[in-house]
Amino acid sequence: MLPQFNSCRHLNLTLALLKPDITQMPYSLEQVRQLILKQGFIAIRSNIIPKMSRSQAEDFYKEHNSRFFYNRLVTYMSSGSVHAHVLALPSNSATGTNAITTWRTLMGPTKVMKTRYNEPETIRGLFGLSDTRNCSHGSDSLETAKREINFFFPNFDVIAFSGSLEEEKLLQKYGDNMLKLDHVHFVHYL
């Protein structure tokens, strides 16, 4: 049963990345997808990147280039397939529901060992291997979400999507519980 969203007028969007440690494990990947659906997310767009190049990973994580973990992170992200998803939730000002915070809560904290004990039902608590190999990434703000979505989906215009006929139809079908999911490509369609 999907959560009920009354008086929702727009979809909140976020970028969700599933990293190489989870994409290499089909059973675990399917469990993560089920957790995403159970939270009521709409998969607007999906893109499977068979292998990110090192330069793509460096560009995506450029704000971390002075951090001690940068080389380890970009090496890891360019080691296997990455699944990028534009996830959406209907906005609900009454409850403060939005896609960014809901996705980040579902992922759990970055520190995997602590997360296993403190938040074991999160994606990182269930499947994370280390602080770098922590299964997932999520945008931390609206501006970051726009930039990150554009990075993986250059032909998807976040601004144009807001208020579009596609958004309106997705909201209507979501409210009527009539959205269909393409399980192979992990994307909802009308």
Beta strand extents in 26-93 (DSSP E only): 42-49, 82-90
* Burial class of residue 74 (count of CB atoms within 10 Å of its CB; 0-12, 13-18, 19+): buried
Q: Which residues lie below 8 Å from residue 127, measured CB to CB, with a gap of 6+?
A: 21, 22, 25, 28, 31, 32, 135
| Integer angstrom CA distances of residue 178 from 7, 35, 161, 169, 172 | 18, 19, 20, 11, 8
Rg (CA), the chain: 16
- CA 16 from centre of chain: 2
Contact 161, 167 (CB under 8 A): yes
Instruction: Clarify whether 185 is annotated catalytic.
Output: no
Pairing of strands 187-189, 180-182: antiparallel
Of 10, 137, 185, 188, the catalytic one is 137
Residues known to be catalytic = 137
